[in-house]
Amino acid sequence: MRKKKGFVEILTTFFLLVVMVGVAIAFVGFNKGFLVIQHKVNDELSDFTTSHIVREKLTSCFGIVMDPDNITALKCRDDNLLEVDLLANMIHSFYINQTDHYNCKDMDWEWTAPNAIASAESEYHYYVPIRNKTHNLVCMGELTIRI
Amino acid sequence: MAMVDNIVTGILVALIFIAAGFIFFQTQTKQNIERLEQKQMFFLHDNLEVDVDSFLLFTENDTHKDFATLISYAIYRRRDNFSVFDPLDPDKAINITKEINYTLTKMFGTGNFFLNITPEIYDIGISFILDGSDSLTAERDQLRADLVSIVTSALIGDRTILVSVYIISQDDSKCTDFATEVATLNSIGPEVQALCTVIHGDHDTGDAGEAGRCMYPTIYDEVDSFKSLYEIYPPYDFGGHNKTERAWFTFYEADWAAGTAYSIGKSDEGGMARVNLHFPMAGELSTGSAGDECYTGEDFVYSDERTLCNFCNITCIDNGVVDTDEENRSWNIVQKAINIAVDKNQVICPIFAWNANYYTPTADPAYDAAWDLWVSIYNSLYNPTPNIVEDADSSLCEAPGCACTGDRFHVGYHPECINEVKWQMQQMADDTDGIYSELATPADISTAVQNAVDTYKEPYKIVIGEYDGDREQLVYEKNIPMPVGTDFVKMYLHVYQ
């Protein structure tokens, strides 16, 4: 009778240990899932913010620049080159298409960060004004930021 | 047994911690996802805001004006087809709605957006400029009868209406005819203000208080500078370019274009929230259809003779060109009225009243003779089968080409000028986005005015695309400043997801 009782205790203990391990595994699994989701959320939030910052930096230039007949580089308000080093640490690349709109020509500009190795994970699209000095127009530009 | 209990307790404690951790992480994740959704929504709105702000900066090809400016012009001018550089030059006109549709379709795709720009109209100004002579008595009486119902039909919500009746005359008692109607309108409440003013054509009444009621510049005009600015001068400038000189002939009663310019000059600036409608009513050229000599001659024997002066002379040539002195005399002041209307964003709705009741001829034989002669010319030109025989005993009827027939009660001066008068009135309407009307009978005045009021009491809208409440959409609201004044118009752009 005593032996039987000891067996039941061991069996119960074993069973409870199995349950505990199962629950622990589930807990770790769930938490890992949660962490993945959180990580992704934080990444997206970060990408949104980055795209906003980059867009603002770029549009502050586009509002002033772009002489489509003489494009050698993206230039900013004060005719200094855009601080590409700064962008290089923030984004993978960006692409601008000046759409065929009224007198504006269909033209493209593309820039990729010098140290970009992996491919971009996110893309953000904006319409931006591009001032055309030659014809005194503000052209429609499609800006694609890849992060 | 104790060991089992300890293990079970330990497991329970562990489970509690696990559950707590689970709840903690789940809550954290849920909050993060909510943050993401909020951020996504913010991002989408911000994205749309950037797109729309960019759209408003894009320039149209021909005008080199950005879309914000073009939209404000379109709302302000109440038309989507106009020239920005020269509002009166149709060759330079562009279609704003078409250009906006083209650009937004390029940005968001066909059927993916709904644009609604609907200004609110708070105030309406309705002004009548009436020839004070007896020839328009029936029209004035008819307007008087219909005035209250026309005005009340335009009352919507908190809107205010300012009614101004200007009678061009030297006789201040002309406004007493409108006293009852003006009092009735003013008794409606603070939302309606009505007044009747007799405006004069002379400049030397000698009373500074009268100066504001003269439609031409006077030495007292320190406030009404628009008269000098737009050169609203009398057509005859006697001696030393003294603009205060008045012609002998009472041309000013028929100078409805100068009266219109005066009415516009006295009105507040038009705009998004205010529509000012001006209704000049006449059947002659502005300043009259008689020849120049009738305004300068002083050798008339009979008082009515000067009224009938020049009946036998053709003063207008119906060739579609402003070429005679009389046509030019009128066109000169009509253009000035148009210019001030365009500058102040006012709407002119001219009413051509050809069948004006002229006053009954007197028993003066010379007058009757001249009248009959003129009636005969009228009939020979415009009424080849007259059915009323008129004063057949006049010797003047023997003049070549004259037949003494006609209806002296339903005629107007110089029928050969009809098309010129109509054309000049039509130009006024076209250039100010107004509505031109013709009266077959005086009773038509109500319809003509009501039609214009009904048209303009509604705001001018720019609506592009179809609204679909069932589709998921983002809405962007933007205030666009008007080109004049401090008003803004709200633009709503719905972009379907």
pLDDT tens for B64-94 read: 888 998 888 888 877 777 776 665 566 667 8
Check residue A77 and give its pLDDT. 47
pLDDT of residue B360: 46
Nearest CB to B58 within list A19, A129, A136: A129
Comparing CB atoms, the residue among B21, B33, B55 nearest residue A31 is B21
For residue A40, the model assigns a pLDDT of 80
Q: Are B32 and A35 an interchain contact pair (Cβ–Cβ within 8 Å)?
A: no
B246, pLDDT greater than 80: no
Q: Which residue has the higher pLDDT, B424 or A97?
A: B424
Mean pLDDT, residues B35-47 taken together = 81
Torsion of CA B256, B295, B222, B124, to 10 degrees: 0
What percentage of residues in chain A have a pLDDT greater than 90?
Answer: 0
- Tell me: the pLDDT tens digits for B175-208? 999 999 999 999 998 899 999 999 887 655 445 4
Closest partner residue to B61 (CB to CB) among A9, A31, A102 is: A102
In B, minimum Cα distance to A139 occurs at B58
Give the best-scoring range by mean pLDDT among A117-126, B199-208, B213-222. A117-126
Place of tokens 């039609």: B451
pLDDT band, very low/low/confident/very high, at B271 (cuts 50, 70, 90):
low
Residue B38: closest CA among chain A residues belongs to which residue?
Answer: A45
Residue bearing the bigger pLDDT, B275 or B370: B275
- Poorest-pLDDT segment among A67-81, B25-39, B259-273: A67-81
Task: Tell me what pLDDT residue A141 has.
Answer: 84
Subunit contact A127:B55, Cβ cutoff 8 A: yes
pLDDT of residue B467: 93
Q: How many structural domains comprise chain A?
A: 1
Q: Which residues of A touch B47 (CB under 8 A)?
A: 124-126
User: Longest Cα pair distance anywhere in chain B, in angstroms?
Assistant: 148
Between CA B456 and CA B458 the distance in angstroms is: 5
- B17: contact with A, CB 8 A cutoff: no
Residue B152 backbone zone (phi > 0: left; psi -120 to 50: alpha; other: beta): alpha
Q: What is the C-alpha to C-alpha distance for residues B223 and B241, in angstroms, rounded to an integer?
A: 22
Burial classification of residue B440, based on how many CB atoms lie within 10 Å of its CB (0-12 exposed, 13-18 middle, 19 or more buried): exposed
Give the number of beta-carbon pairs within 8 Å between A and B: 103
Binned at pLDDT 50, 70 and 90, residue B436 comes out as very high
Q: Alpha carbon B276 to chain centroid distance? A: 6
The whole-number average pLDDT for the span B2-20 is 74
Instruction: Assess B46–A contact: CB distance below 8 Å, yes or no.
Output: yes
Residue B264 or A60, more confident:
B264
Contacts of B40 in chain A (CB under 8 A): 44, 48
**Structure confidence by residue, pLDDT tens digits, B464-473:** 999 998 999 9
Closest chain A CA to residue B102: A101
Q: Give A46→chain B minimum CA distance, Å.
A: 10
Residue pointed to by tokens 């349950």: A19
Does residue B292 carry a pLDDT above 50?
yes
Structural domain span for residue A99: 2-146
Rounded Cα distance, B445 and B351, in Å = 8
B15-24, B144-153, B243-252, B325-334: least confidently modelled range: B243-252
Per residue in A46-56, pLDDT tens?
Answer: 888 888 888 87
Residue type, B299: D
Mean pLDDT of B327-332: 92
To probe the interface with B, which of A138, A143, A144 has the most B CB atoms within 10 Å?
A: A138
3-state SS record for chain B:
CHHHHHHHHHHHHHHHHHHHHHHHHHHHHHHHHHHHHHHHHHHHHHHHHHHHHHHHHCECCCCCCEHHHHHHHHHHHCCCEECCCCCCCHHHCEEHHHHHHHHHHHHHCCCCEEEEECCCCCEEEEEEEEECCHHHHHHHHHHHHHHHHHHHHCCCCCCEEEEEEEEECCCHHHHHHHHHHHHHHHCCCCCEEEEEEEEECCCCCCCHHHHHHECCCCCCCCCCCHHHHCCCCCCCCCCCCCCCCCCCCCHHHHCHHHHHHHHHHHCCCCCCCEEEEEEEEECCCCCCCCCCHHHHCCCCCCHHHHHCCCCCCCCCCCCCCCCCHHHHHHHHHHHHHHHHHHHCCCEECCEECCCCCCCCCCCCHHHHHHHHHHHHHHHHHHCCCCCCECCCCCHHHHCCCCCCECCCCCCCCCHHHHHHHHHHHHHHHHHCCCCCEECCCCCHHHHHHHHHHHHHCCCCCEEECCCCCCCCEEEEEEEEECCCCCCEEEEEEEEEC
pLDDT of residue B85: 61
B313 pLDDT above the threshold of 70: no
Q: Which residue has the higher pLDDT, B42 or B286?
A: B286
Output the pLDDT for position B388: 39
Q: Which of A19, A37, A103 lies at the smallest CB-CB distance from B29?
A: A37
Distance from CA of B42 to the nearest CA of A (A): 10
Q: How confident is the model at residue B364 (pLDDT cuts 50, 70, 90)?
A: low
CA angle B269, B144, B259 (to 5 degrees): 40
Which of A15-19, A128-132, B112-116, B300-304: highest mean pLDDT? B112-116
Q: Which residue of B has its CA nearest to A49?
A: B43
Domains of chain B, by residue range, sit at 2-116+463-496, 123-360+409-456
Residue B49 contacts A where some CB pair is shorter than 8 Å: no
Residue A78: is its pLDDT beyond 50? no
CB contact under 8 A, A127 and B50: yes
Class of domain B123-360+409-456: alpha beta
Residue A39 CB coordination number (10 Å): 11
Quick one: what percent of chain B has pLDDT higher than 70? 73
Please state, as a whole number, how many other Cβ atoms lie within 10 Å of the Cβ of residue B127: 26
Average pLDDT over residues B38-52: 83
Within 8 A of B51 by CB-CB distance, chain A residues are: 126-127
What residue of B is the nearest CA neighbor of A18? B11
Answer whether B18 sits within 8 Å of A24, measured CB to CB: yes
Say which of A13, A30, A42 has its CB closest to residue B7: A13
Taking an 8 Å cut-off on Cβ atoms, the answer to whether B57 and A59 are in contact is no
For the residues B18-23, what does the mean pLDDT come to? 78
Share of chain B above pLDDT 90, in %: 26
Partner-chain contact B107 A48, CB within 8 Å = no
pLDDT for the residue B438: 93
Among B8, B23, B24, B32, most A C-beta atoms within 10 A, so best to mutate, is B32
